[in-house]
Amino acid sequence: MAGDKIFIGNVTLEAFLLFLFTLLLTLLVSNVSYAVIRGLLDDKLSRRNSKLIARATQYAVIGLGLYAGIHHVLGEDLTALAASLGIIGIAVAFSSQQIIQNLIAGVLIAIQRPIQLEDWIEIGGTSEGVCKVKDITLSTTILRNINGKIVYLPNSLLLSSRIINYTKSGFVEIPIPLTIPSGSDMGKIKKIVLEVADKNSWILPNVPLEEKTIMTQLLELPRLKGLFEHDFDVKMFEPKVLISDFSDSTITLSIRIWIREVNKKDEIVSEFLDSVLKRLKEEKLEMA
């Protein structure tokens, strides 16, 4: 009987519960559609374009599901809709405030764009080192470090931490310490260091033509032009050998080199130091 039914606004309790079920089903289908489209397009398009299409499809599914639920199930009854949203809001609030923070952070990341897919970044306060951005969802950012580990970071943590974006900076200066005896021939050591750096194809500015082309293209980007002087000179990338500390028995040098491939930083530094040490031994120059 109609009198035995419970109504919320002009909607029966059964219809109200059906709407909640429709909403949950819509969220499930939207997430599945996102994953399916990413799986189909990741190998055919760039990851950024693939994600854009998948995300647009996900939002379209959510929009259609909401429309179907509000129009066909609730009959556009605002009282029932408000009650549904209220229940959902209470459930989310009780489940975790962190979820809300992560969702808000995800929206801010999408708007501010401090990072994008395939960027090489480093997050302050974590021990993961340099990582590549593999995916950004509304609640989580997925990274892969240079050791191959997959790292899932809540967006709220990402947004509240210091982010170093090596991809956007284009070039990175690496300081390398080198300790020598205080009586060493500084001029000879400096000459060896600069000669080794000049022959290394990863160290700027004396790199292969392909790398020089990439450098030129990067320096034309508006976001990088403001970081360098108006009259750009490639000499700014020349390696430098500076004295950072000394004592009665030793001198500590700070070798400054510029590289572009930050993900290969350890490999480049190791190869460079190995060559420097070989040259020093050939010249019979002692190390501290």
Question: Is residue 258, in this structure, part of any structural domain at all?
Answer: yes
Are residues 243 and 193 both part of a single domain? Answer: yes
Q: Give the chain's mean pLDDT.
A: 78
Domain containing residue 159: CATH number: 2.30.30.60
Residue 39: predicted pLDDT: 78
Q: pLDDT tens across 214-253, in order?
A: 766 666 666 555 555 555 566 778 899 999 998 889 999 9
Residue 7: predicted pLDDT: 47
Are residues 222 and 133 both part of a single domain? Answer: no
Backbone angles phi, psi at 260, to 5 degrees: -110, -35
Are residues 183 and 272 both part of a single domain? Answer: yes
Question: Is residue 151, in this structure, part of any structural domain at all?
Answer: yes
Q: Is 62 helix (H, G, I), strand (E, B) or coil?
A: helix
Tokens of 201: 């194809």
- Quick check: 145 and 153 in contact, CB under 8 A? no
Are residues 123 and 211 both part of a single domain? Answer: no
Are residues 153 and 190 both part of a single domain? Answer: no
Question: Is residue 125, in this structure, part of any structural domain at all?
Answer: yes
- Backbone region of residue 148 per phi and psi (left: phi > 0; alpha: psi in -120 to 50; beta: other values): left
Q: pLDDT tens across 57-75, in order?
A: 888 888 888 777 777 666 6
Residue 157: predicted pLDDT: 84
Are residues 62 and 41 both part of a single domain? Answer: yes
Question: Is residue 106, in this structure, part of any structural domain at all?
Answer: no
Are residues 126 and 206 both part of a single domain? Answer: no
- Quick check: 119 and 167 in contact, CB under 8 A? yes
Are residues 59 and 135 both part of a single domain? Answer: no
Burial of 112 (C-beta count, 10 Å sphere; 0-12/13-18/19+): exposed
Are residues 91 and 159 both part of a single domain? Answer: no
Q: pLDDT tens across 141-194, in order?
A: 999 988 888 999 888 888 888 888 888 777 888 999 999 998 889 999 999 999
Question: Is residue 288, in this structure, part of any structural domain at all?
Answer: no
Average pLDDT of the segment spanning 108-132: 82
Q: Report the alpha-carbon distance of residue 261 to residue 167 in Å, rounded.
A: 9
Q: Report the alpha-carbon distance of residue 45 to residue 40 in Å, rounded.
A: 9
- pLDDT bin (cut points 50, 70, 90) of residue 90 is very low
Flag whether pLDDT at 43 surpasses 50: yes
Q: Single out the residue in 167, 182, 201 at which a domain terminates.
A: 167
Question: Is residue 107, in this structure, part of any structural domain at all?
Answer: no
Are residues 214 and 157 both part of a single domain? Answer: no
Question: Is residue 102, in this structure, part of any structural domain at all?
Answer: no
Question: Is residue 273, in this structure, part of any structural domain at all?
Answer: yes
Are residues 278 and 180 both part of a single domain? Answer: yes
β-bridge mates for residue 135, sequence order? 142
Average pLDDT of the segment spanning 95-100: 58
Domain containing residue 268: CATH number: 3.30.70.100
Residue 174, H or E segment: strand 172-181
Q: Single out the residue in 147, 167, 187 at which a domain terminates.
A: 167
If one counts the domains in the chain, the total is: 3
Q: Report the alpha-carbon distance of residue 180 to residue 48 in Å, rounded.
A: 48
- What domain range includes position 128? 114-167
Are residues 146 and 178 both part of a single domain? Answer: no
Q: Single out the residue in 95, 129, 150 at which a domain terminates.
A: 95
Quickly list H helices, the chain: 13-41, 47-68, 78-95, 97-112, 155-160, 166-169, 186-199, 209-219, 222-225, 265-282
